[in-house]
Amino acid sequence: MEFSESAVKNSLVFAINGERFEVSDIHPSTTLLEFLRLRTPFKGAKLGCGEGGCGACVVLLSKYNHVLDKVDDFSVSSCLTLLCSVNGCSITTTEGLGNSKNGFHPIHERFSGFHASQCGFCTPGMCMSLFSALVNAEKTLRPEPPTGFSKLKVSEAERAIAGNLCRCTGYRPIADACKSFAADVDMEDLGFNSFWRQGDGKEVKIRSLPLYNHNDTICTFPEFLKNENRSTLLLDSRRYSWHNPVSLEELQSLMGFVEDENGTQVKVVVGNTGMGYYKEIESYRKYIDLRSIPELSMIRRDDKGINIGATVTISKAIEALREYSKGGFYSGGMVYKKIADHMEKIASGFIRNSASIGGNLVMAQRKNFPSDLATVLLAVGSTVNIMNGPKSEELTLEEFLRRPQLDSKIILLSVKVPAWDQSTGISSGTEMKLLFETYRAAPRPLGNALPYLNAALMAEVFHCKSSNEIIISSCRFAFGAYGTKHPIRAAKVEEFLTGKLLSVRVLYEAIKLVRGIVVPDDGTSSPAYRVSLAVGFLFKFFSHLLEANPESVDGCCALWVKDSETKRICSQLDHCKIPTLLSPAKQVVELNRQYHPVGEPIAKSGAALQASGEAVYVDDIPSPTNCLHGAFIYSTKPFARVKGIKFKPKSLPDGVSSLISFKDIPGENIGSKTIFGTEPLFADDFTRCAGQYIAFVVADTQKHADMAANLAVVDYDVRNLEPPILSVEEAVRRSSFFEVPSYVNPKGVGDFSKGMAEADHKILSAEINIGSQYYFYMETQTALAIPDEDNCIVVYSSIQCPEYAHITISRCLGIPEHNVRVITRRVGGGFGGKAIRAMPLIIHNQAKPRMFAASGRKKPAHSVLLWRVATACALAAYKLRCPVRMYMNRKTDMIIAGGRHPMKITYSVGFKSDGKITALHLDILINAGIAADISPMMPNNMLGALKKYDWGALSFDIKVCKTNHSTKSAMRAPGEVQATFISEAVIEHVASTLSMEVDSVRSKNLHTYNSLNFFYEYAGEPVDYTLPSIWDKLAISSNFKQRTEMIKQFNMCNKWKKRGISRVPIVHEVILRPTPGKVSILSDGSVAVEVGGIELGQGLWTKVKQMVAFALSSIRCDRMDDFLKKVRVIQSDTLSLIQGGFTAGSTTSESSCEAVRLCCNVLVERLTPIKERLQEQMGSVEWGTLILQAQGQAVNLSASSYYVPDFSSMRYLNYGAAVSEVEVNLLTGETAILQSDIIYDCGQSLNPAVDLGQIEGAFVQGIGFFMFEEYTTNSEGLVVAEGTWTYKIPTIDTIPKQFNVEVMNSGHHRNHILSSKASGEPPLLLAVSVHCATRAAIREARQQLLSWTGQCKSDSTFQLEVPATMPVVKNLCGLENVETYLHTLLS
């Protein structure tokens, strides 16, 4: 095939942040994100998942339309966008909005001021999602907004970040930062921030916000790009090429040319978003981009419907459908609108902006993708036009989907959506109407989640006015995504209903037919649940036409209502109606200025840098010369002999240089070590769990290393080996346990036998199970290792415990520790997944407790995963004598992380008739996985939370089971969160047995101060026990009793939605540990600070800066009012500050603060004599003058300390309580959290803004554990929830709609650091209130179900699993509740 010279161009031209780039040496598979991060200085866009599922990589893409002479701006996921597809376009990243040198953008400043950035890894993507919404709002014809605001609406501002994930903040402050730009925002609705003070008026608040001028727009498309010519051929080479055909004839020619070249691999692309779901390992030689063909990108409308070109993006199709629906409910308007509404649930905005209509349907046809689009378009009778060589062919969508898998040379050209009139005929006695609804049940209301089932239901119905009867004239029902190859038409149901008089009996029979038609394929998860959804949706479709009149259920019981009434009812029932995201919430914070600036709610240090993309994470560090990249090859078998590793022939990418295994280790094969044992870095001749590291492949790029690891074929041999242990029951049968040493084995409380003897009632051997949870830090595991002179090595690691990585690297490489340096600046989220398995213990003897090992923390540190990443990179760099780095892909990270400990619990409990519990015994089996890690500490951890109630007597038998699963480690609140659930499950069971209100049983069993002292060794003073006052205060502030009564009324009046409310307390024990600090005053008076703690997003640096400013200000020099700006906390360096320990367990911030305060006290003591002499001479002394004098007098201006807490202050208890209210949809099992109210005792907070963020973020992470996150494995223990498609953390549309938090200032605590208390982990336990409220709603649903069957007996005793996902909830509410209800009406 030949091209004219003018049409051939071997380079790409585009702009990034206004800067021109011309690139020719690039492979067509290169993504925009790869280019940004590897070839430009713009590192703001982050790699979070590589699937388009997290939003960390969002940028603004701007295209110039030559025909209309306008620029289209839209957000895209740069991890999926191919670089060649942005030829002639402009990209804006968060760096293009502003920076620290030229001034931050108001977006950056408001994210900082609203405390909307913690670890900061997700923040640049959040900012760009918001910026895209602002840019497009300005293009509307809306009225001019008030000064300082944009044309954006509050609802748009919230939804702008609906597809972005955040694991730290809990989303509420992010939503506030976004809403602050909206013209219709009520300033009173905006939450706690650093811009204004409580009581300030509206005008003051507006002036306090960083000014946003909506007319002062950033140029998103530079003029020089408008003159760049698009070409039909790019990057032509012998190995690969990219084609941009501009006509169907040229496309046909290209496809024919491809056919002539036998074996050529061709990829036809539009938006490339399918790569997020189907991870293609193979590389293509030819890429054909269809977007420049006019026929494929047009949208045309005529009397017969709308014709949408195959390359039209989903977002553009939504716009067109909405535009064409504005004519009212006629000429297809209603149908178009509802299709558009449903399409907004597909993926997220930045995916819809580049995903094409045609691509979605082709994936459904070729790869059985569970498409929403295919189902909806099938129901409305859509047709498609395809091109097969020179021929074009029109097919119904049903024919298209049923065809055998399309050949790659067949191109989908367009989709035709027919026009449907809502009112299709009126005669003197009858009226015909069109009914159309679409449905989907998915873990997230606003999309960004595949559905369990989707449906689109259409019916034409006659209304006979004289008899008030309804006859179904015709219908079209489509169901999809339920575990079948493609959506189906429910033909038998359609045939049955056509011509029928609508009645309860007819609907009942139709539903029975649905159950026989919607049958998920074998292996589909929750098959019965998916079938029940189809039943529920069909019932919901007709329910507003049925009048529940028992006298007429056999005949016509239909009720025809007017359009306005139809709309009203549909607005209540319509599943696709986008819910209001968040209601105004209260954040109550009592400030303490006794230790100024400690106690001030200042913004988190570096938050604006994080927002602007300037904050440097490990993977942002430029690669040194000759840097290589690594990836792990892991086992997929739980127990097998490893005979060898091979790579698939002809597929291995260029650049693979080395394969490193245990045989290459010069020192010890050590990946982790605790006092309980070691775990190897690599498997030796045997792999002992699925997910265990076998080898480390090294290549020239991260992409090539990952590809090589995916192409590795491990030769396993399981002959003559015992079967693996894959359950705790099997571990018990084979006596496979880890020993729990006596010095960490907790003791029971009281006399269990006596307590059971005193009981009026007993529950014996009840069982519950608890699943695991994945950390889902936004930044995956990463490290960079650089060989240095004299056999040394420097490692940059995103880790919570550099010291222990340092030690491990030394032992693995067989070199002295002084040859190793580990540097950590910041971490993009940790939650224990980037800590280590070093063990801090307290050993108790008869005299007093003493420290064991290197720490004083009751809990161990957490996962050793990143420790191993750092060690593997160091090993490879040491062996190959060149830099080696790794950024682990999300799938591998999830497979090998281990996560939270799953458990099986059996309990027996005795209690009085008034609900007072007298004794509790627990048999707990903990699945620890293959290595001990911190698991022997779990019993000790659990007891602290288990003892939150006065059980009378508490005994237990906790076994730590060794299984062939990946090693489980500690995750935020390790053991405590499981123990909290166990406690509440017992309380709920007791209450249901006695038919008592659960809240009264909880209140009955709250500790008195005396019982608290009996259960806890360090309960503190009576004044420290604030839980009773919190409990009572929360009941009042949350209107708990009034809402409880309102919920009862709601449940009586609503058949298909039930609400529940629950109030729960927590008691959480923490222990401070030794922590180093160093403070150095430089010659200009600025201060450099080092601490052992690592900044993970928890605000440690911020609190430390405040403490340094407070402590040094005691010298009382003049002009120290703005002293905070003089203080900088610098990165952790294991050779600069030793004994850094680890950052975990909620107390590192306060320990670090005390360490630097000790340093400052030393410096103040050294400076005081000089200051006094200067004061005598000069009268007043400025800080800079004092420091210059001190330097001249050879005063040591650097001080180090090692804070070791004394035994009186080492341990303390944290208290809090929460009330949560939920609403459960009985047709789908969806649980909406309507409101959560929290009161948490922070003592005298070191920084209320930081602590508030920790409380909200922990609570939402807890919601994920209790309600959403399924960390599932296959039958061999290999994790199958391996990405954002299958693992769902909370999003902005799943958090409490109203989220009220009070940071309680409980006054002076003389044994605490400036009277402060921890906030990182304890609030996570409060999320159990959501689970308990869900249980309450389910109880109401089950009682109603019983009443329908004529049974009066209570059915309140049941176990609600963790997590309480939609299938779990629906199963307990009744998978056949619709049939039961209809049968009741019939009988």
pLDDT digits (tens, 9 = 90+) for 1033-1061: 999 999 999 999 999 999 999 999 999 99
Q: What pLDDT is attached to residue 204? A: 95
- Name the amino acid, one letter, at 493: V
Q: What pLDDT is attached to residue 9? A: 62
Span 630-637, average pLDDT:
97
- Strands 488-489 and 677-679: what pairing? unpaired
Predicted confidence band of residue 865 (pLDDT cuts 50, 70, 90): low
Span 1215-1226, average pLDDT:
98
Measured over the CA atoms of residue 1324, residue 1329, residue 1331 and residue 1334, the dihedral's sign is negative
Helix pair 172-179, 1248-1263: axis angle to 10 deg:
120
Cβ neighbours for 1010, distance < 8 A, ≥ 6 positions apart: none
Q: pLDDT: is 1277 or 677 the higher one?
A: 1277
Highest mean pLDDT among 465-469, 646-650, 1211-1215: 1211-1215
In terms of Cα–Cα distance, which of 514, 517, 559, 519 is closest to 537? 514
The DSSP annotation for 361-424 comes to HHHHHHH----HHHHHHHHTT-EEEEEETTEEEEEEHHHHHHSSPPPTTEEEEEEEEE---SEE
pLDDT above 90 coverage of the chain, percent: 80
- CB 1260, CB 171: distance < 8 Å: yes
What length does the chain have? 1387
What does the DSSP 8-state code read for residue 1025? -
- Strands 70-77 and 233-234: what pairing? unpaired
Q: What pLDDT is attached to residue 390? A: 84
Q: What pLDDT is attached to residue 849? A: 37
Q: What pLDDT is attached to residue 198? A: 86
Span 933-958, average pLDDT:
95
Span 1214-1239, average pLDDT:
98
Alpha helices in 119-274 (DSSP H): 123-137, 154-160, 172-179, 202-208, 248-260
Span 398-403, average pLDDT:
96
The DSSP annotation for 1037-1054 comes to HTTHHHHHHHHHHHHHH-
Q: What pLDDT is attached to residue 574? A: 37
Q: What pLDDT is attached to residue 1207? A: 81
pLDDT in tens, 121-174: 999 999 999 999 999 999 999 999 999 999 999 999 999 999 999 999 999 999
Q: What pLDDT is attached to residue 848? A: 38
pLDDT above 70 coverage of the chain, percent: 92
The DSSP annotation for 472-496 comes to EEEEEEEEESSSSSS-EE-HHHHHH
Alpha helices in 995-1120 (DSSP H): 998-1004, 1009-1015, 1027-1037, 1040-1053, 1100-1112
Q: What pLDDT is attached to residue 866? A: 63
Q: Strand pairing partners for 460?
A: 434, 474
CA atoms of 453 and 1031, how far apart (whole Å): 42
3-state secondary structure of 1383: helix
Predicted confidence band of residue 784 (pLDDT cuts 50, 70, 90): very high
**Window from 188-197, 225-234, 940-949, 1136-1145 with minimum mean pLDDT:** 225-234
CA atoms of 184 and 201, how far apart (whole Å): 17
Q: What pLDDT is attached to residue 845? A: 32
Q: What pLDDT is attached to residue 675? A: 76
CA atoms of 743 and 105, how far apart (whole Å): 55
pLDDT in tens, 611-624: 999 999 999 999 99
pLDDT in tens, 702-719: 999 999 999 999 999 999
Q: Supply 952's token pair.
A: 């009378």
- CB 1280, CB 1286: distance < 8 Å: yes
Predicted confidence band of residue 424 (pLDDT cuts 50, 70, 90): low
What does the DSSP 8-state code read for residue 942? H
Q: What is the pTM of this model?
A: 0.95
- Residue 560 in this model has a pLDDT that exceeds 90: no
pLDDT in tens, 1110-1135: 999 999 998 888 899 999 999 999 99
Residue 346: alpha-carbon gap to chain centroid: 18
Q: What pLDDT is attached to residue 678? A: 80
Cβ neighbours for 1093, distance < 8 A, ≥ 6 positions apart: 1075, 1100, 1104, 1140, 1143, 1148, 1149, 1151, 1152
pLDDT in tens, 745-762: 999 999 999 999 999 999
Mean pLDDT of the chain: 91
Span 173-200, average pLDDT:
95
In terms of Cα–Cα distance, which of 585, 739, 589, 764 is closest to 675? 739
CA atoms of 606 and 613, how far apart (whole Å): 11
Q: What pLDDT is attached to residue 1353? A: 67
Span 55-61, average pLDDT:
98
Cβ neighbours for 1179, distance < 8 A, ≥ 6 positions apart: none
Cβ neighbours for 19, distance < 8 A, ≥ 6 positions apart: none
CA atoms of 460 and 494, how far apart (whole Å): 11
Asked if residue 1248 has a cis previous peptide bond (ω within 30° of 0), the answer is: no
pLDDT in tens, 651-679: 788 899 999 999 999 999 998 777 787 88
What does each C-alpha distance from 35 to 21, 43, 955, 968 come to in angstroms? Answer: 11, 10, 59, 36
In terms of Cα–Cα distance, which of 532, 558, 525, 700 is closest to 1280? 525
CA atoms of 34 and 1363, how far apart (whole Å): 36
CA atoms of 539 and 1058, how far apart (whole Å): 18
Q: What pLDDT is attached to residue 1142? A: 83
The DSSP annotation for 601-618 comes to -PPPTTHHHHHHT-SPPG
The torsion angles phi and psi of 260, rounded to 5 degrees, stand at -70, -30
